[in-house]
Structure 1
Amino acid sequence: MDTNLKALRYFMAALRCGSISEASKHLHVVPSAVLAAVNQVEEAFGLQLTTRQRAKGIAPTATGQILMQRIQHLLDEYETLMSIGTEMRTQLTGTLRVGYYAPVAPAFLPGIAHGLLAENRRADIKFIACDNETAQTGLISGAFDVILCVAQRMKPGVTYETLVEVPAYLLVPRNHSFAARASVSLKDLGGETLVLLDLPAVSEYYSRILEEAGASPRIASSATTLEMVRSLVGAGVGCSLLHMRPATDITYAGDRVAEVPLSPAPPPLKIVLGHLPDNPRRLVKAFVDQVRVLFSKEESRRFLVRLPEAK
């Protein structure tokens, strides 16, 4: 079978109008184009679908009437599909799937979601926490529309842009002696007890900078979520190395913690925004634009712990 949607449209128009010439006027094409389409459809099915009489025009056979219903359903489905595609391109509608590997993402993604969803009732957003590998694989496979992750071992095919370079800092209980200091060296951690965030890429980074600094603190505990690490630190289990910070110094347990810059500052991690480059849905584009705006503003600095700038 070898036919196309245009031929099916012309075929249906001819039978609806009951005349090749009337269908050609309706479609704004020459009669020969309609006739050729009717012949093509009949040839493709290998069935007699029409009867043609010079005085009475063109009419469907019994077989043609059966197929007309199916053909019209196909054309309707196609129009619906194209309408949905146009809507996705021009309106904020549908489901946006965001994969993120950024422990502090809950500090800023909800604000972006609110801005997009408050005025767009036909849109919804699914946030999926994952690791770096899963985020990138998900973007390439179509599981995610956009990702936030660490710029480490980025896969070919992932288009990404750096949102922010994030320096590491030391998180300590509020009553710890380091809390009153302007900065702490990694070498100062030799006699300390640490709680580590045990996530791919991040844990490797912390192990590397400690080794390079010649520091060998005791690792008392580890956790795979940021808030568990913060709560362990607040409870006095140990200090921790982290990157981005939330907007509060209170843990889930109600303890207070303090962020202390590292000096000299180790190489920062890069948080990147990954997306597919060509013809994104409007909802995807709007989300990407909002993330860019957030990290281009001074307010994004509140997520970072840095050494005081020299005067």
Structure 2
Amino acid sequence: MDVDLRKLRYFVAVAEESHFGRAAERLHITQPVLSRQIRALEHEVGAQLFIRGRQSTELTAAGGQLLEDARPLLAAAQALVLRVQQAERGAATFTVGFMPGITVTRAVREFTARHPELDVQVVRTSWDTQVRSVHEGVLDVSFVRLPVEHRGLTLRPLFHEPRVAVLPARHRLAGKQSLGIADLAAEQLLQDPDAVPEWRDLPGRSSAGEAGSWPVFHTVEEKLEHVATSGGVLVLPLSTAAYYTHTDVAHVPIDDIGPNEVCLAWSADRRSPLLSEFADIAAEQH
């Protein structure tokens, strides 16, 4: 059976919106057309994908599995088109992503010296884009901070570093030499809780620390401003906290959680020798 990528895109839109009407608006098609396409997809895969309600649409177990598999498949298709277009233009590029606080200069310089024919570019990423941009073909390799979803990736461990709590400068914990993750149980975490599973899984964590009641921030700068002006805390790798200077925040080592691990990531379905060569260089530099 051949899977229709267009139907998969329609399916992902409905799953993400949890509503056929909103998904149809997002896709710029009519709702009846979208409903027919989803019914056709359900017929093709032989499973019901959604439980349709008046107010919302929920995934079935089969739909949840399809969503998990569809996202990397669609990203790989997009990456394929991008690489073909680059080849058509004769564009010999190699793009390296990096997270804030990670220095890639020496590795990029060494790789560029070995391959002067390549246009080597660097792109700063975020927690949301460090892996997604690899799957989508925007990046050839990416220096990523764990934890990340491993599916579809090759990961090469590089180094690790301590993590610190970033607090308002006048916070009761700001002057301590170190603290434990349980000391932050009652605090509002201003980042994806999955990035700090030790905080997320604290027993008896109070509702004051629950995620979802604060705005979503997309950059470290936004998060730091919120820490300084409105409170809340972050748990960051030491190099990231040190990279940003802000007189109204302080960072304190957390002594009872593991370090942050940095890896080099690239798409598992790519076999270019340039990828493993750059990984070797990056490992030597760290």
TM-score by length of 2: 0.51
Q: Is residue 2:285 matched to residue 1:280? A: no
Asked if structure 1 preserves the Cα contact closer than 8 Å seen for 2:134 and 2:140, the reply is no
Query: Cα distance, 1:98 vs. partner?
Result: 2.5
Q: Distance in 2 between matches of 1:111 and 1:175?
A: 38
Q: Which residue of 1 aligns with 2:251?
A: 259
Asked if structure 1 preserves the Cα contact closer than 8 Å seen for 2:166 and 2:234, the reply is yes
Q: Which residue of 1 aligns with 2:104?
A: 109
Q: Distance in 2 between matches of 1:182 and 1:191?
A: 20
- Which is further off, 231-240 or 127-136? 127-136
Secondary structure of 1:179 counterpart = coil
Q: Which residue of 2 aligns with 1:169?
A: 164
Secondary structure of 1:228 counterpart = helix
- Say which one has the larger Rg: 1
For structure 2, which runs of at least 5 residues remain unmatched after alignment? 1-86
Asked if structure 2 preserves the Cα contact closer than 8 Å seen for 1:95 and 1:123, the reply is yes
Residue of 228, 235, 252 corresponding to 1:234: 228
> 1:239 is aligned with what amino acid?
V
**CA RMSD of the aligned region, Å?**
3.7
Asked if structure 2 preserves the Cα contact closer than 8 Å seen for 1:186 and 1:210, the reply is no
Query: Cα distance, 1:173 vs. partner?
Result: 2.5
Q: Which residue of 2 aligns with 1:95?
A: 93
Query: Matched residues, percent identical?
Result: 19
Asked if structure 2 preserves the Cα contact closer than 8 Å seen for 1:162 and 1:271, the reply is yes
Asked if structure 2 preserves the Cα contact closer than 8 Å seen for 1:151 and 1:271, the reply is no
Asked if structure 2 preserves the Cα contact closer than 8 Å seen for 1:197 and 1:226, the reply is no
Secondary structure of 1:235 counterpart = helix
Write out aligned runs for 1:65-214 (5 A). Answer: 94-100=92-98, 102=99, 104-105=100-101, 107-110=102-105, 112-113=107-108, 120=116, 123-127=119-123, 129=125, 131=129, 133-138=131-136, 143-149=138-144, 150-156=146-152, 158-192=153-187, 194-198=188-192, 203-206=193-196, 209-214=199-204
Q: Which residue of 2 aligns with 1:309?
A: none
State the Cα deviation string for residues 123-157 of structure 1 (Å, max 9, x = none): 3314263535524524xxx553212333533125x
Q: Distance in 1 between matches of 2:243 and 2:131?
A: 29
Query: Cα distance, 1:245 vs. partner?
Result: 2.9
Write out aligned runs for 1:19-30 (5 A). Answer: none
Secondary structure of 2:255 counterpart = coil
Query: Cα distance, 1:225 vs. partner?
Result: 1.3
State the Cα deviation string for residues 85-137 of structure 1 (Å, max 9, x = none): 9xxxxxxx93112245x3x25x4135644665589586331426353552452
